[in-house]
Amino acid sequence: MIKITEDNLLKGEKNQFNLFKHVDEFNDSESSRKAFKNEIKSNTKRVYQLKYKNNIVATVSSAAENSKSAMIVGVATHPGYRNRGFATYLLSKLSKDLLDEGKTLCLFYDNPDAGSIYRRLGFENIGRWGMLSK
């Protein structure tokens, strides 16, 4: 497991967005890359990546971190490496680290497969959410 910090930020960013190219739910844009770097530097985001046979195959992140809470975001596994427990491992590790710091966790999802992982790890559905756009 690799934790992205300021020390390995450039390589971590490259690996993150290379992985996202293979996952339909994510995109690559200059603003996404800029936010990624700024959030790591400001300690409001953590990124864990899993390397398997010299490839980054899974990732999980936190966002909007503060002293009391964090949001789980960016859970992704390369399609060729799914159903091997990689995302579960990373999510379990990130969740434990955040909970050990006394933070409350939240996440939003619309992928039923992801939902089953989250519930298996102890997350509970507490409601539905919606988006408003112009």
- What is the distance between the alpha carbons of residues 115 and 107, in angstroms, rounded to a whole number? 10
For 35-69, the pLDDT digits (tens) are 999 999 999 999 999 999 999 999 999 999 999 99
Distance of CA 56 to the CA centre of its chain: 13
All domains of the chain in start order, with CATH: 2-120 (3.40.630.30)
For 64-89, the pLDDT digits (tens) are 999 999 999 999 999 999 999 999 99
Global pTM value: 0.88
- What is the distance between the alpha carbons of residues 53 and 113, in angstroms, rounded to a whole number? 25
CB-CB neighbours of 121 under 10 Å: 13
**β strands within the chain, DSSP E:** 2-3, 46-52, 55-63, 69-77, 104-107
